[in-house]
């Protein structure tokens, strides 16, 4: 499309630090902060789900991918995370 190369974001599995909910039948990409603790990836949701919450996007470095058939993600669950930033703190 107009010479723009496709953009690929890597995904990792991480432990979700807090519970999350998602609407049934919709894939959700929740803003989050991804970090490494004790040699494993951990992710913490940041802000709410509203598209008007731009500040929470500025404070995130990843997106938690919640599939269409999942409505609840319990704390401590393994989740797929799309990495938005190369360096993790």
Residue 89 falls inside a structural domain: no
Residue 16 falls inside a structural domain: yes
Q: What is the pTM for the complete model shown? A: 0.80
- Residues spanned by the domain of 15: 11-83
Contact predicate 11/81, CB 8 Å: yes
Residue 35: CATH number of its domain: 2.40.340.10
Domain count for the chain: 1
Is 10 exposed, middle or buried (CB count within 10 Å of its CB: 0-12, 13-18, 19+)? exposed
Residue 15 falls inside a structural domain: yes
Residue 5 falls inside a structural domain: no
Residue 37 falls inside a structural domain: yes
Residue 66 falls inside a structural domain: yes
Residue 23 falls inside a structural domain: yes
Helices within 29-81 (DSSP H only): 54-58
Spatial separation of the C-alpha atoms in residues 77 and 86, rounded to whole Å: 23
Q: What is the pLDDT of residues 6-46, one digit of tens each?
A: 777 899 999 999 999 999 999 999 999 999 999 999 999 99
């Amino acid at each position: 499309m107009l010479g723009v190369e496709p953009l690929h974001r890597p995904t990792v599995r991480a432990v979700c630090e807090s519970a999350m909910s998602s609407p049934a039948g919709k894939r959700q990409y929740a803003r989050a902060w991804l970090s490494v603790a004790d040699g494993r990836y951990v992710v913490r949701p940041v802000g709410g789900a509203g598209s008007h919450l731009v500040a929470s996007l500025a404070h995130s470095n990843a997106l938690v991918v919640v599939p269409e058939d999942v409505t609840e993600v319990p704390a401590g669950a393994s989740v797929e995370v799309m990495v938005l930033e190369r360096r993790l703190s």
